[in-house]
A and B are shown apart, each in its own frame.
Chain A
Amino acid sequence: MSKITTVKEAAARIKSGSVLHLGGFYAQGSPECLISAMLEQGVTDLTIISNDTGTPNEGLGRLVEAGRVKKLYCSYVGLTPILPKLIEEGKVELELVPQGTLIERIRCAGYGLGGVLTPTGLGTVIEENKQVVELNGRRWLYDTPIKADVAIVEAYRADTAGNLIFRRTQNNFNATMCTAADLVIAEIVEPIVEAGAIDPDEIMVPGVFVDVLVRKGV
């Protein structure tokens, strides 16, 4: 069965109330066409894991501005001016997670591990709600894996088998998010090529992780 569909059909598979991994760093690598389709189709009450909230006009910020998000796991939210008000009004719940811990929590979910032991955040507010583990004479903060119902990512090239390649700093959280969701949708910048047209050594996400491919703008 072909993995290729339209942006609209792919976005329609994301249900209200879903937990979503959304790729991107300051919205670079965020799948903007899928986000536009989600906004049009009315999906709401989303829990979203993403490095940051983007800006009001880019990436996750667009969903936050439109009131579609109820819970966020992010490392940075400083470019979304509306968010503090939404949090104060009880409309959005935010868990701030250090960037390196956030990506590892996603990786743990994707790779079958029980969680992260990290030195990051020891002695800070992050420690207050986390379990401290003493192992081999050192203290570590334990944090849990984060799995999602759906991951939506952007990639530069893809073949019909779902193999993905990113360009420059477009990857960021995207490759790891592809491993940690029940349904993975990738929005591709370049025309999708036939399986076999990409050298296997160049593939950055094996197609086995990717369920649905859409071409940007199609």
Chain B
Amino acid sequence: MEPRIIIPKRIAQEFKDGDVVNLGVGIPTLVPRYVPEGVTIWLHSENGVIGIGPEADPSHKDVFLLDASKKYATIAPGGATFDSTVSFGLVRGGHLEATVLGALQVDQEGNLANWIVPGGKLTGMGGAMDLVAGARRVIIATEHTAKDGASKILKKCTFPLTGAHVVDMIVTELAVMRVRPEGLVLQEVAPGVSVDTVVKNTDAELIVPANVPQMPI
């Protein structure tokens, strides 16, 4: 199955009704379309919104309502706008149930690198370091391997970190993995994917339990 379907579909099952969640760019933005019926999640936007909705219809847009990717957005009934102290107080203060972020690299100790490629384009961390330091759960949504086939799930990140020992869960098109005190545990495999395939495509030392169930998707 397509990474861009399987990954957000599996992550969408992690939430209960009313959870406040921040989504990073890329695959994480696809999570809301798979949230089960009866569950409403509130999306947090760094520039000062709880309840940010889909992109605005160009004919009805409010030019004062943007999302954190500079697109005209909408706000759900019951949503709220506020300034950056409140926005990041929500983040650091543990008021977000989770942040779902992409990764350049993630490792078996729960370290995450997703803000800069050494020698690459100068950008900045924006709010990413605050999100991984403050959200109650950090869920990584990433393809298992990079375009060149190299595993993105490493023993040790080599790129500059966004946060150290911050990741709770990694979801790829092959597997679900949890960062536990004993190490990185293989929790589920995707439909039609063998444990061997996951292990072969993973640089990190995976702890493989006797029984690894299939992703419930």
Contacts and interface: CB of A to CB of B under 8 A. Distances in A.
Interface of A: 25-26, 28, 51-52, 74-78, 83-84, 87, 96, 98-101, 103-104, 107, 118-126, 156, 166-176, 204
A76 B129 contact: no
A98 B66 CA distance: 20
Contacts of B85: 103-104, 107, 176
Contacts of B91: 100
A99 B66 contact: no
Interface in B107-157: 111, 121-130, 133-134
B84 interface: yes
Interface of B: 45-49, 62, 64-66, 68, 70, 75, 81-85, 87-88, 91-92, 111, 121-130, 133-134, 160-165
A98 B131 CA distance: 10
Main secondary structure of the interface of B (DSSP, over half): loop
A175 B83 CA distance: 7
B84 A78 contact: no
B112 to A, nearest CB: 10
B122 A172 contact: no
Contacts of A172: 47-48, 83-84
Contacts of B88: 99-100, 103-104
B50 to A, nearest CB: 12
Given A25-B68, A99-B126, 7 more contacts: A78-B122, A99-B130, A123-B165, A168-B65, A173-B84, A174-B83, A175-B83
